[in-house]
Structures are given as structure tokens and as C-alpha cells.
Structure 1
Amino acid sequence: MNRWRAWAAGSVDKGCGRTARGAVVAVVGVAAVLLAGCGALSPAPEVTRPDHLDITLIGFNDLHGNLEPPRMAHTVNGPAGPVAVPAGGMAYLASAIAALKARSPHHAVVSAGDMVGASPLVSSLFLDEPTIEAVNTMRIDFNAVGNHEFDRGWRELLRLQQGGCEKFTARQPCQISKPFAGAQFGFLAANTVREEDGRTLLPATGLKRFEQGGATVTLGMIGLTLRGTPSMVSPAGVAGLRFEDEAATANALVPQLKAQGADVIAVVIHEGGSTTAGVQETSCAGLSGDIVPILERLDPAVDVVVSGHTHQAYVCDYSRVNPAKPFLLTSAGQYGTLVTDIQLRVDTRTRRVVRKVARNVIVQGEAFTGAQGPVPMTAVVPSFAADPQVRSIVETYRAAAVPLARRPVGQAAGALRRTPSPSHESALGNLVADAQLHATRAPEHGGAQLSFMNPGGLRADLVPDEQGLVRYGQLYAVQPFGNQLVVKTFTGAQIRAVLEQQFASGSNTVQRPRVLSVSEGFSYRYDLSQPPGARISAMVLHGAPLRDDMPVRVVLSSYLDSGGDHFTVLAQGQDRRVGALDLDALEAYFRDRSPVAVPATGRITSAGRTAH
């Protein structure tokens, strides 16, 4: 039984009676040491009750299995001007968290989701077991699961929590660790509910109690997954689940936590926003995003909101935005490059938070050379040594992955990037669409005539080395999900409807469209000044106008095939044929077409009011 499950199991023998536990609870502090002598006959010395107790809440989010430094930098102001600080790497993140813990005997560590999923090869190849093992060594308390924790389905998510080697994916679990022990911290998902019985898939809340000098303070935590998760993962991965409103779920749980003795309430949510403030500023300047309407409806009894999902870094006293909502809102960016240090002072008489401040700490660990040149270490901000235990885990899995990652697959004529053009297509998206069409064009492979590729499925740019060489690990970084290719027949009218959905797909409105890249030989025009249903025109397929009654064989990923990204029309279609993995198709394209040219981005034309 792992450490987290031991706390959740029911009662804990402390040597002087048993303490019942109906929730996920941990107790730390001086009083736990004093209890060791509670069986003695002599009275304990009188202890002066403190008038306050300080708690350090440590947060991070959107780690995405980045075991190795992600070759990213954060810019800060130094004595001589802006300075780029190299950041990230889980061995350094572990040391940064340990340093923050060492400053306070009363601490809790939480992750706001997407700890795993869309991960680099060293973690993803092993079903993210390495990331869970590395985080176990950090001794964190809770992770509020995000949308990417469902990438391989909810049963695989439960395996990561509980351990074991049951196979739920095409990849083999327990390749290195036999058996895999599972997470020794709690996964929380208060608004993820099983439709069959209305129970949450994972625990909704957690408690952690702190004791000092006769005073006890309890921190209650609510973990939330963003409500839009079903539109971001394969529907099969969340079948049988519903994702309820975030604010309503949290508000219903606040009085329950209060009844269990919680003095401080923290909401840990995989949803977020952005600000115009710098990484080390503590300002709400320009705060926007989907987190804002949630905050506006959240119970003001909440003290802290640790957020994620948008990969943005911010620390914001939300009372500056709305005085009736005195939350402290934080996010630590992405990939373990930052960790948030949240300081809470609790009045032990009123049992209320009387002071709360936070800052984002850059996880500076090692220098690197990027596209813009060397990024050296700097003394402007502190640096951290690599944690030896985490480094050992990373090295073990890296050694197992390197032979595959370094295998050459072909050459490219230039950098293939995800940067969107004015019409929101990208060179890399067009390349992947072309590769999918290439793999399925032959009649025996499906007879595809057109390919669609969603931008969210592209997780890294593809940049060849000085000799133009591209390696397997780079392709894997671009497409780490392991989707299969699916070929189906659609009418021209259905294709038009799909393209209309780009501008009306859930939260992705005309201001933030999710434009599909298309394969060579297909083109069209959109005009956002026209009403919905009349925005798409001039569809041409291989030199001929595409009529509404014309049947077309279309290849797409299994993610889009199931209606992912709100493209519900793509779940329709006839004569479905399942083919190879998307990654295998991309590798075959490099093998057959090297050196691969950089595709032009003129397949889609925007007119009238452009998207932003």
C-alpha cells in the first residue's frame, strides 16, 4: 500500500489510541513529536499556544512529463537589464521544492494537473511511469487531474494512481519497473463523476493538518478538472464520465470541508488564464481567460486558487479585480520551469487567513544552447542542484529510450514549425496532413483523397540539425499520442460543416479558432464577416470544385474520428477503415520523401474580418 492510500484507508495508530479518518488526511507538526511520550505518568510541560501559524503551500502545474530540462528560459530584470534564466528539469524541480519545504515545517505541495500526457519520449514511451516515480520522490500531497491525464483513458489514469501492470493501451506497461507501484500522492477530481452511480472517479478533496504548540490548523483542498475535458481528449477515454461545473462543484464542497475542520480552503484547478505581467511580478494586469468566470462565481470563503492549463505564469491578488472575491490566484507556467511559493498566515484564535503572499520561483538548474544561442547560468536568481534520486530515475529511463530516440529517420530542407500563418494553418500541420494522405492514398490502405490535422495534436516544432538530419525522438515529440489513422467517406456538405465548426467549437469561437491543417491538393476560403453557415467558400479538391453531393475519402486521427476538439461532424462518415499509427505514417513519409520540403501555407485563404 502506498503512502497516500495508507492515509486514506481509515484509521492511523499513533501509539495512544486510533484517529478515525473519513477523508484524505495528513498530520504534521511539533505536536506529533510530543505525542510519542503520551503514555508517561508525569504531566507534559505547559506549551504556550501561538497566536498564528504559518503554512507554505507549494504549487506547480502542466509538468507534462518533462523529466529532462525542456531548454526553456524565463526573462527577468537584472542590474544591467533583461536576463534570460535557463529553467526546468525534474531533478532541479525536486531540489527547488525541497528548499521551499526546508524553510517551513508546515507545508503542502500540490500540482494543478497535466502532470502526465503529451510528454517527451523519455516519459511517454513508458506510459509516464517515470514521471510518477520521480514525483513520488518529491513527496507531494495532491495532483488535481487535468485533461491530459485522460489521454490514454480513465482506466489507465486509475492504474497510474493505484499501480500495477494491467494493459489499457497499445504500449506495454511496466517495461522498467516490475511491478509499477503507482502514485504515492493523491489524485483529486471533484467534478469528474461516473454516470452509472454519480460517484466521483477519484477523491474530491484532501485535508492536511498542522500542529504546533497546542494549536492545530487544517488545510482543505478541492481538486478540479476543467469542464471542457471531453472536447480535448478521445471520447472513448472519458466514456461513462461527466465533467460538472467547476464553481458549483467547489462551492458545494466548501461547507463540507469546513464541517471536517478545514480552516484554510485551497482550490487546485486545471483551468487558467493569462496576464500581461512579467514572470516575477505579482499583478493582475490584463487578467483574462476561462478562469475568470469561475472565480466570479466561487465562494469567497476560498483562500487560494492554484491554477493551470494555459501554461501561463502569474500571481494575482484577485481582490484587486473584485473586492468581494479575495482569492490569491497563482499559476507556475509549464514544464517544471517554475514553482509557486505561497505563504499563508493563519490566526489560531479566529482560524482565518490573515496574510497571504506568493511568488513564482524560477527553477534554474543548467545552461543550454538554443535557437537564439547560449543561455548560461546567472547569479541574478538562485540556482538549484540536481536531486540525486530523481536524476537516477531520469538516467535509467533515458538510457532505455536513447537508442530509439537517436535513430535517424530522414532529412528536412528546413525547420518545420507550428507557428500559424494569417489563415491559421502551419507548415508543420500541413506536413503531417500530407504524411497522413501519403500513408492512406492507395486503395488497399483506404483510398484517401483529403487529410485533416488538428493543431492541438502537434506538440513540438520539428527542426533538423546542421546537416538536415531528423531523428525519431523529434518525430515522437511532434506526435506523442499514438493515434491511429482512420479513413472515412464524407460528402462535400459534411466537409463544409466541419470547416464551419472551426469557428464555433466550444470555447474556440471566432476570436480563437481551431483551424485544421489540410493536405496538398485541397484549398478553400473563409470569411468571418459572414454569418455562421456561410463562412466557407471556394472549396477545391485536386483542381475541381468540391460539390456538396460529392463523396470524398478523408483521413484523420482516431482522436478527430471520435469527434475530438468539438468536431462532431467528423464522428460521422461512412465506410470506416482503421490504419497505421500517425507516428509511423510520419516516419514513412520522411523515409520516402527525404529531404522533405517545407510545405507552403497558402492552402487556406482568409478574407474579411480575420481571426485573432
Structure 2
Amino acid sequence: MAAAHSGGDRQQQQGHGNGTGTGHGNGHGQGEATLPLQVLAINDLHGALEPPTGSNGQVVQDNADGTTSTIEAGGVAYLASALREAREGERRSVTVAAGDLVGASPLLSGLFHDEPTIEALNGLGMDVAGVGNHEFDEGYRELQRLQDGGCHPVDGCYVAGREFAGSDFPYLAANVVDENTGEPILAPYSVQNVNGVKVGFIGVTLEGTANIVTQEGIQGLAFLDEVETINRYTAELERQGVHSIIALIHEGGYPVDPAYNNDCGEGGSGLSGPIVDIAEHTDARVDALITGHTHQPYVCAIPDPEGHDRLVTSAASNGRLFTELTMEYSPRTHDIVRTSVAGTNRVVDREREPAADLQQLIGYWNELAAPVAGAPIGWISADIPRSGGDSPESPLGDLIADAQLAHARELDESADLALMNPGGVRADLVYAASGEEGDGVVTYGEGFTVQPFSNTVNLLDLTGEQLLSALREQVSGANESSPKILQPSAGLTYTLDLSRSGADRIVADSVRIDGEPLDPAATYRVAVNSFLAGGGDGFASLAEGTNPVVGNDDMAALAAYLTAQSSAGSPLAPPAADRITVLR
């Protein structure tokens, strides 16, 4: 099902070696004949095969008159058409990705362990992809299966006689190594021969991946520094005579302007976040940085260590955008002419004709998923968003926390409260009808899109002091610069004072459990998902919980809660999201 490339024949070379060294810098190529090269890039697709709904399926556009407009975007059949249109007339084109192509996926892909997404990526012509943290959601052995093929070790093949073939493209994991050998678990780089132009791609995920994935799947792995790893393999590629080098980095930044066509400012001044420091220290011989993770759109010029501007790009998420990079290659220096590199984020709007072969693939998997996906699990009276707007607390986050508390009390009626990590809430619950369902109906497929991780609901004992520490960890330590506010169940209230700094932003004497002040010496029964129970997202205090009980998976808890709390005649209203008082 792979799409034809206008770039002609392409050969691939995957790197596995080690070593350090130096090589020449960027070629300039003035006054010489050069060869044009196109690089098309996506990131953070998250198995969004069908057009995503709500804010997940929209991009904001800055207009010339100072206004903004919203465009419906995304859907892999539209993405395939957009990429194919972009390649038309290009003799040298390569398509790449910067991680999180799978994981946290809607049911259509997640139900089948993301095999549908890999087949879709093959169909739209993916050439090489770096890994992200979500590629490790089911463990690195499962990631290797997605690349190599074969039936799932537990669920087997989904149709008799149809074995999953794996990806047509290599996954790169330069900074993910076996703790014992120090060797990468997958190829660290791939050299693409694009109709006579050799380009080396190095793929890394964020060094902090181990803090945001379930520990069971990454035992025995180490995640190394992004800059040191890229620089190491840049030197190796240079020694091999590969001087055109692009890094695929699953770490990102935050633009001041959320519009996809934002002005990044002089020297990338309109961009903040971890990628800025990475860009400023990555070897100057790397010609461009294609990034992800933060789900933001940007094309920014940030000075490299030698003071020369270098493009750093990201195409938001869910296939709503792709980045088109154009550049010139010098046959004399075998390098990309840095001053020729230009980039633009392109909208995957739904006005174009969707690719028929991808629609057929989606239809195939939809038919297999339909008996599960279409089953109603509840009714809602309005959209229940995962964003709280100006507040870090959201209606959907509170709903999920309430559902987990209800499940916890079925296991142990003494359960006091539940906490839900905001990153585990992946989509809005949308009221409007989709397909043949009635308005307000929530299907299992929609619920799965909200909570696709298959975490369990875990009960544990925390002292009041430990619970306060966990609340403080939302805004301190690893989370100080980018707070992760846990979504609280009914019964937990407190004040968050954003005028303060660090852990002091949690007003300690404001914390109440069922209206009573938090007692540091008391023991509270707390429900969290298995990811948080392992200390995920920097919540080390939650990992100190004792007397653990493991319940059902979180999606089952949500489905049971919606079914119990709503009906067609009495739909569930969005929670008020008023459990955290925010001071500014």
C-alpha cells in the first residue's frame, strides 16, 4: 500500500556504530550548481487516523488584518493527500517524523495495538521516524514488533491469514540504550539516499522519557542526554562522509503565539521551553532540528553554537499540520547550504480530496472495531472539555477523577479521594453527533479516545504529609517551570496561588478533605492510576504509598461511571471544575 515517491529510488543505511570525531562545517555553495531537496515532517500523530474532533481537530490561523480564524484539520487520509500534493514535481523528497506516532491513540488504532497506524504510515510514504515517549507505552519489545512485524504476543493476529508486516520505515532511538551494553535498542540514525543526495537523520526522544512512561516496559533501558547523543552521532556520520544531517528530536517548545503561522521573532525569541537550550548546544554541523512532544506549531530560527541561524520546527499534533522544509544541496561539499533552508507549516485541511487507499484501510479496521467502538456507555448534556481555559482544572479531568473514586469505593468503601494526571486526558468528550449516534451519546470508542492508556485504578495509603507533598510536586521540582496540576475528585479542595513560587504555590492550610482540614498525621486512602502510582510525571510522593490494591482499568471505570450516572432522559452535565481556587 506504500505511496509512490516523486523523489525516485531511495536507499537506506541504518547506523549501529560508535565513535567520536570531527568533520567540516556547513558548505555554502555560492556560485555553484546545487540540487533541491524537500523534507516533509510530522510529529505526535498519536494514531489519529480519523479526523479528530473538538480542539484536537482544529488549528488557529493568524490573519493579515490582525484577527484569527479556526480551521478544521487532520485525518490521515487528508494527510496522505496533502503530502502527495506537496511531493508533486519534486525530484528529491523525503518524509520523516519526530516521535509519538503511536500511543495514546483513539480506539480505532489502540484496540489493535497501533497496527492500523503503522500500516497508514506505510501508506502515506513515511521514510524514517524518531521515537517519542509514547512509542514505549507498551514497552520497547512491542515497539520492536511494530517495526519488525508479527502478530501480537497476547492477542495474536486479528484476521486469520493476515499477519502484521511491520513498518516500511526504520524507527530511530539513538539515546535509548541497553543499560548493560550501552548500545541503542534500535538504529541511532538512518542515511537516506534521495536520488543522489545523502542525508543522515538522527532520532532521539527526550531524556526524561523514563519519568513519563510506565516503568515496567522500560526496565533495563537508559535514556541519554539529547545533545550529547546527537553530537556523538553527528561526528560519526561526518567521518562516514555524510555531511547533510538533520535531527529528529522528541522534545519541544512553546511559542508565544499559538497560531500555526506564528511569527517566531528575532533569534527565536517567540519560543521557550527545553528545545531552545537543545538547539543552542547541538553541533553546528546539524542542518535542521525537527521536533515534537509539546504539540505546538512553530518554525523558528535559533542560533547554533557558532551563532548561525538554524531552523527548529514542529507541526503541532494529530496530523493537523505537516512541515515543508526546502533546501539546496551542494554536490561539491556534499552538504546542505544552510542559508537556503526554509520551512513552512502547512494545514491539512479537509477541503481536499482524501486519499482513497487510506480511506479503504481505515474502513477495513473500522469494520473490525465496530462491535466495540459503537457501543453506548453514557449520555452528556454538553461538551465536556479537557481544558479548563485559564484554570489548570478541567471539567473532564474532574469527571475522570470522580469515576476513579467511584470505582475505588467499590474496592474499598473507605477511599477518600482520587487524583488524575492531566496528560492522561487525551481528548474532549463532544456532545454533537458523530456517525449514526444520537446527540449526547458517548460511545466506548469516544471514551477510549479520552483514556487510551489501559492504566489500572490503584488504591494506596498516604499520610496527610505525603499527600501535601504530592500536591506541592505539581508546581515544584521537575514540574516547577511547567506545572502538572492533578485533577481532583469531589471532596478535595485547596487554593493554588500563582503569585508565589515553587511549592509555596500550594496554600497548605487551604487543603480540605470532605470539608475538613488536611491532617498531616492522618492516613488517607487515595485512588490514582498505575502511571501515577509508580511516581510518573515527577510525583515521587505517590510512589511512597502503602497498602496497595489494584483495580480495573481506567477506561472500564469511566464507562461504568457514565453508565451509572446518566441516561438518555437524564444526561450528565459537565462538572463545574471549581475544586481548585486559583489566585494570580
Asked if Structure 1 and Structure 2 have the same fold, meaning a TM-score greater than 0.5 normalized by the shorter chain, the answer is yes
**In structure 2, which of residues 239, 258, 261 is the aligned counterpart of residue 259 of structure 1?**
239
Partner of 1:56: 38
**In structure 2, which of residues 381, 387, 396 is the aligned counterpart of residue 419 of structure 1?**
387
Partner of 1:360: 345
Asked if 1:237 corresponds to 2:209, the answer is: no
- Which stretch has the larger CA shift, 589-598 or 524-533? 524-533
Distance (whole Å) between structure 2 residues aligned to residue 526 and residue 333 of structure 1: 29
Asked if 1:551 corresponds to 2:528, the answer is: no
Partner of 1:350: 333
Q: 1:290 corresponds to which letter in structure 2?
A: P
Distance (whole Å) between structure 1 residues aligned to residue 189 and residue 91 of structure 2: 22
Question: Closer, same or farther in 2 for the Cα pair 1:422/1:209, shift >3 Å?
Answer: closer
Question: Closer, same or farther in 2 for the Cα pair 1:418/1:557, shift >3 Å?
Answer: same
SS of 1:568's equivalent in the other structure is coil
Partner of 1:463: 430
| 1:162-561 → structure 2 map (5 Å cutoff) | 162-167=148-153, 172-176=155-159, 178-211=162-195, 216-276=196-256, 278-280=259-261, 283=264, 284=268, 286-319=270-303, 324-354=307-337, 355-364=340-349, 366=350, 377=351, 383=352, 385-420=353-388, 424-442=392-410, 444-445=411-412, 447-465=414-432, 467-506=439-478, 508-509=479-480, 511-527=481-497, 529=500, 532=503, 535-561=507-533
Summarize deviations over 1:245-273 as a string: whole Å, max 9, x none: 11111111111001112121100111111
Summarize deviations over 1:208-239 as a string: whole Å, max 9, x none: 1245xxxx532111101011111211122222
- Unmatched segments (≥5 aa) in structure 1: 4-13, 26-49, 367-376, 378-382
SS of 1:66's equivalent in the other structure is coil
Distance (whole Å) between structure 2 residues aligned to residue 76 and residue 587 of structure 1: 36
Q: 1:305 corresponds to which letter in structure 2?
A: L
Question: Closer, same or farther in 2 for the Cα pair 1:322/1:158, shift >3 Å?
Answer: closer
Conserved 8 A contact 1:24-1:206? no
Distance (whole Å) between structure 1 residues aligned to residue 313 and residue 14 of structure 2: 29
Summarize deviations over 1:13-51 as a string: whole Å, max 9, x none: x9xxxx9967389xxxxxxxxxxxxxxxxxxxxxxxx83
* 1:338, distance to aligned residue in structure 2 (A): 1.5
Question: Closer, same or farther in 2 for the Cα pair 1:531/1:152, shift >3 Å?
Answer: closer
Partner of 1:145: 131
- Which stretch has the larger CA shift, 173-182 or 544-553? 173-182
SS of 1:451's equivalent in the other structure is strand
Summarize deviations over 1:482-534 as a string: whole Å, max 9, x none: 1111111111111111111111141x21x531111222122223445376477
* 1:76, distance to aligned residue in structure 2 (A): 4.5
* 1:422, distance to aligned residue in structure 2 (A): 5.6
Distance (whole Å) between structure 1 residues aligned to residue 250 and residue 214 of structure 2: 18
Conserved 8 A contact 1:485-1:557? yes
Question: Closer, same or farther in 2 for the Cα pair 1:450/1:253, shift >3 Å?
Answer: same
Percent of residue pairs identical = 39
Distance (whole Å) between structure 1 residues aligned to residue 497 and residue 415 of structure 2: 27
SS of 2:354's equivalent in the other structure is coil
Distance (whole Å) between structure 2 residues aligned to residue 200 and residue 24 of structure 1: 8
SS of 1:414's equivalent in the other structure is coil
Partner of 1:38: none
Conserved 8 A contact 1:436-1:586? yes
- Unmatched segments (≥5 aa) in structure 2: 3-9, 18-31, 433-437
Distance (whole Å) between structure 2 residues aligned to residue 317 and residue 393 of structure 1: 38
* 1:363, distance to aligned residue in structure 2 (A): 1.8
Partner of 1:95: 81
* 1:296, distance to aligned residue in structure 2 (A): 1.0
* 1:82, distance to aligned residue in structure 2 (A): 5.9
* 1:535, distance to aligned residue in structure 2 (A): 4.3
Partner of 2:560: 588
Conserved 8 A contact 2:13-2:191? no
Conserved 8 A contact 2:12-2:190? no
Asked if 1:23 corresponds to 2:15, the answer is: yes
Distance (whole Å) between structure 1 residues aligned to residue 397 and residue 518 of structure 2: 22
Q: How many residues align?
A: 541
* 1:415, distance to aligned residue in structure 2 (A): 2.8
SS of 1:110's equivalent in the other structure is strand
Distance (whole Å) between structure 2 residues aligned to residue 318 and residue 201 of structure 1: 31
* 1:476, distance to aligned residue in structure 2 (A): 1.3
* 1:242, distance to aligned residue in structure 2 (A): 1.3
Larger radius of gyration: 1
SS of 1:88's equivalent in the other structure is coil
Distance (whole Å) between structure 2 residues aligned to residue 322 and residue 587 of structure 1: 52
Partner of 2:99: 113
Q: 1:158 corresponds to which letter in structure 2?
A: Q
Partner of 2:5: none
Asked if 1:605 corresponds to 2:581, the answer is: yes
Distance (whole Å) between structure 2 residues aligned to residue 524 and residue 281 of structure 1: 37
Q: 1:358 corresponds to which letter in structure 2?
A: G
Q: 1:153 corresponds to which letter in structure 2?
A: G
SS of 1:161's equivalent in the other structure is helix
Partner of 1:31: none
* 1:196, distance to aligned residue in structure 2 (A): 1.7
Summarize deviations over 1:415-454 as a string: whole Å, max 9, x none: 3222226652222111111111111214x44742211111
SS of 1:441's equivalent in the other structure is helix
* 1:347, distance to aligned residue in structure 2 (A): 1.8
Distance (whole Å) between structure 2 residues aligned to residue 95 and residue 63 of structure 1: 16
* 1:403, distance to aligned residue in structure 2 (A): 3.3
Partner of 1:67: 49
Distance (whole Å) between structure 1 residues aligned to residue 456 and residue 128 of structure 2: 33
Summarize deviations over 1:298-337 as a string: whole Å, max 9, x none: 1111111111111112222324x98714322221121112
Question: Closer, same or farther in 2 for the Cα pair 1:82/1:603, shift >3 Å?
Answer: closer
- Which stretch has the larger CA shift, 403-412 or 327-336? 403-412
Distance (whole Å) between structure 1 residues aligned to residue 136 and residue 175 of structure 2: 14
Q: Normalising to structure 2: TM-score of the pair?
A: 0.86
- RMSD over aligned CA atoms reads 2.8
Question: Closer, same or farther in 2 for the Cα pair 1:485/1:265, shift >3 Å?
Answer: same
Asked if 1:159 corresponds to 2:140, the answer is: no
Summarize deviations over 1:367-419 as a string: whole Å, max 9, x none: xxxxxxxxxx4xxxxx3x32222221111111222332222222224332222
Conserved 8 A contact 2:108-2:445? no
Q: 1:339 corresponds to which letter in structure 2?
A: F
SS of 2:254's equivalent in the other structure is coil
Question: Closer, same or farther in 2 for the Cα pair 1:424/1:199, shift >3 Å?
Answer: same
